[in-house]
Amino acid sequence: MMKPEIAIIGAGLAGVALATRLAPHAEITLVEKSRGLGGRMATRRGESAGFDHGAQYFTIRHPAFHDFLEPAMERGVVEVWDAPLHRLNAAAKLEKLEDRSPRFVANPGMNALVRFFAEPHKPRLNTKIVGVEGKPGHWGLRTEDDQRLGPFAWIVSTAPAPQTADLLPLAPDDAAAVRSVEMHGCFTLMIALGEASSLPFSAAQVEHPVIGWIGANHSKPERASTPALVVHARNDWSQEHLEAPLPWVEAQMMQALATLLPDLADLIAATPVLHRWKYASTATPLGSPFLLDPNRHLAACGDWCIGNRVEAAFQSADALAASLLTQLEIEP
């Protein structure tokens, strides 16, 4: 029997988890608009230091996620980040937090996890999808550079909710449900420090009106030893200032950091780099694990269906895979 052709838009964790689950039963075309893999599990290499500038770590609470990750764990791609977690308050008071569950990271950067699972599916990078054409069961994808891909029996979008709503020709009720998902942005500052720099903590949740997180990237396993800080602004503050000029945002974040880490200015070795995440976290989720329209042969999954964590992205993709296989009359 011919395997159905399924296109998956987006090679973040949800996209590669879905591809992994469906690949034994379907021909998968995995397309990603960026030139690298990872989505919001992102890693950037600076001149001397590396930065995980999206997800900092992930937790593994569900056995299915653990089972999925096992091959990556066996290859050393997933490892515990055992640095103690601190809380830093606006008065620069530091307090060690009790660890509730282990924090895992991918090696040598967070994007390595997505790369590990993506490679067997030969993802098409630099391929931004701008339109879905045709009809159910014979869908085509139009790329930004006006190529046509397809035909596909099914199309699944794993892009953040607002982008999925723009892309898929959904039924009106589904379109309204996806549009009702609210996602917040996040500003991230990447700061390389001098070789001998030391900080009083490796990972800190920050209680401050502007800053929400400070992590020492070099304290994660298998990273370059050059001290490197990843600083996330709070999601609510980021969302409020999402369209503000970037130099202003950076100045506000640096000013806030100066009160939280008074010695920081003397340690900075290179010009900080600011990244703006337009859709970082889910404020209001879809409320169901995935979206599937059996008549239109369209589906969507991603963290935004149920939450805002790496594990939520997996759970959403895993649940959609089971449902899609049932639709295709294949035992999950």
Binding site for ligand FAD (CB under 6 A): 9-15, 31-34, 39-41, 54-58, 128-129, 158-160, 163, 167, 186, 188, 232, 277, 280, 302-303, 308-310, 312-313
Report whether 281 contacts 237 (CB < 8 A). Answer: no
**Residue 281 Cβ, how far from ligand FAD at the closest point, in Å?**
6
- Whether cis (ω within 30° of 0) applies to the bond prior to 151 is yes
Q: Could you give the CA distance from residue 144 to residue 163 in angstroms, rounded to a whole number?
A: 14
Looking at beta carbons only, is 54 or 285 nearer to ligand FAD?
54
State the distance between the two ends of the chain, measured CA to CA, in whole angstroms: 17
Residue 147: count of CB within 10 angstroms of its CB:
10
Looking at beta carbons only, is 187 or 193 nearer to ligand FAD?
187
**Residue 241 Cβ, how far from ligand FAD at the closest point, in Å?**
15
Q: Could you give the CA distance from residue 224 to residue 216 in angstroms, rounded to a whole number?
A: 11
Report whether 155 contacts 9 (CB < 8 A). Answer: yes
Report whether 106 contacts 41 (CB < 8 A). Answer: yes
**Residue 266 Cβ, how far from ligand FAD at the closest point, in Å?**
27
Looking at beta carbons only, is 126 or 225 nearer to ligand FAD?
126
**Residue 221 Cβ, how far from ligand FAD at the closest point, in Å?**
16
**Residue 41 Cβ, how far from ligand FAD at the closest point, in Å?**
5
Main-chain phi, psi angles of 181, to 5 degrees: -70, 130
Main-chain phi, psi angles of 11, to 5 degrees: -110, 65
Within 8 A by CB and 6+ apart from 132, the residues are: 139, 140, 141, 142, 155, 167, 168, 169, 298
Looking at beta carbons only, is 86 or 309 nearer to ligand FAD?
309
Q: Could you give the CA distance from residue 314 to residue 81 in angstroms, rounded to a whole number?
A: 20
**Residue 181 Cβ, how far from ligand FAD at the closest point, in Å?**
12
**Residue 129 Cβ, how far from ligand FAD at the closest point, in Å?**
4
Strands 138-143 and 182-192: unpaired
Report whether 320 contacts 299 (CB < 8 A). Answer: yes
Looking at beta carbons only, is 236 or 263 nearer to ligand FAD?
236
- Residue keyed to tokens 């590669």: 16
**Residue 18 Cβ, how far from ligand FAD at the closest point, in Å?**
9
Query: Tell me, what amino acid is at 305?
Result: C
Looking at beta carbons only, is 153 or 161 nearer to ligand FAD?
161
Looking at beta carbons only, is 9 or 22 nearer to ligand FAD?
9
Q: 3-state class of 45 per DSSP? A: strand
Looking at beta carbons only, is 272 or 330 nearer to ligand FAD?
272
Looking at beta carbons only, is 5 or 32 nearer to ligand FAD?
32
**Residue 220 Cβ, how far from ligand FAD at the closest point, in Å?**
12
For 207, counting Cβ atoms within 10 Å of its Cβ (0-12 exposed, 13-18 middle, 19+ buried), the class is middle
